[in-house]
Amino acid sequence: MSLHWRDEFSIDHSEIDNQHKILFKLLNNLEESTYSTDFEDIIPSTLEELKNYVEIHFETEEKYMAEKEYPGLQEHHQIHEDLKKRVYEEIKLNHDEGYSTIKVMHLYNFLKKWIEEHILIEDHKF
């Protein structure tokens, strides 16, 4: 089920491609955490690390788009904002209701599908 980098994910921008690879690694860490006996201890920091890196990545990506005067920047920014809102809600739900492997795997599966589609469709537009 883990995410694996494939050449088709490359957008031919080394910094963004490297950040995408790091996001893959962080998502895989999220999945792996569900198998840990220390799940409830490590999941908050795993989710926080993922959340923080998503923000860094989106900022980098949008800065690059602005420099290239990409006409779809505002729409792309909104897609990023919508994802961040959804992820923050999921993290809060996990925190408030207690961490469970089912909820974390639901988030992982959503993010896995989202990042694959986002890179292959939206990011390839620029």
pLDDT greater than 80 at residue 1: no
**Does residue 119 belong to any structural domain of this protein?**
yes
15: domain CATH number is 1.20.120.50
For the chain, how many structural domains are there in total? 1
**Owning domain of residue 38:** 7-125
Instruction: Provide mean pLDDT across the span 74-93.
Output: 91
User: Tell me, what DSSP letter sits at residue 69?
Assistant: T
Q: Cα separation of 9 and 5, whole Å?
A: 7
pLDDT in tens, 55-66: 999 999 999 999
**Does residue 66 belong to any structural domain of this protein?**
yes
**Does residue 100 belong to any structural domain of this protein?**
yes
pLDDT, position 116 = 92
3 CB neighbour count, 10 Å cutoff:
20
**Does residue 1 belong to any structural domain of this protein?**
no
pLDDT, position 126 = 80
pLDDT greater than 80 at residue 52: yes
pLDDT greater than 80 at residue 9: yes
pLDDT in tens, 37-46: 888 889 999 9
DSSP 8-48: GG--S-HHHHHHHHHHHHHHHHHHHHTT-TTHHHHHHHHHH
Q: Cα separation of 70 and 29, whole Å?
A: 32
**Does residue 55 belong to any structural domain of this protein?**
yes
Q: Report if pTM > 0.95.
A: no
